[in-house]
Amino acid sequence: QAAPAGGNPTASGAPAFVGALGGAANLRSVDACTTRLRLELQDPVQIDESALRALGARGLIRVGERGLQVVLGPQAEQVAGDIRTALAAAPGDVREGLVAALGGEGNVVRLDQHGARWRAEVADMGPVDVAKLDQAAVRGWTQLSPRVLHVLG
């Protein structure tokens, strides 16, 4: 699946990579080795291969069900760090996805972020969309009581 390099991978910035990888909610983990991004994705179908190649990806390697390696060259570590920084700085996108998964603003009693974890209290579990919650939760979620959930980002 190799392709010629597109642009400079660090020139377009982390937001473009996050978008090409399916958005913040699709990234379960972001690591790198010397030349590759090593990613675990929520849904690998959501990636935009042509956008990744335009950003400088020289190749894509699928690893297992959710793994993806993006061959970038020696700047992979820098790009991974930039992506992690962008993810930490964009809690609004995560919050928006969580609110939708939790049944909308009308069902969310309280939603607080504590580092990479979110604590959610809902009025009713009925409107909570578990499939959307699975997508919004980067590392998983658990129900602590009938109306309280913790989501790991």
Active site residues: 33
- Between the alpha carbon of residue 127 and those of residues 24, 65, 118, 130, 134, the distances in Å are 23, 29, 18, 9, 14
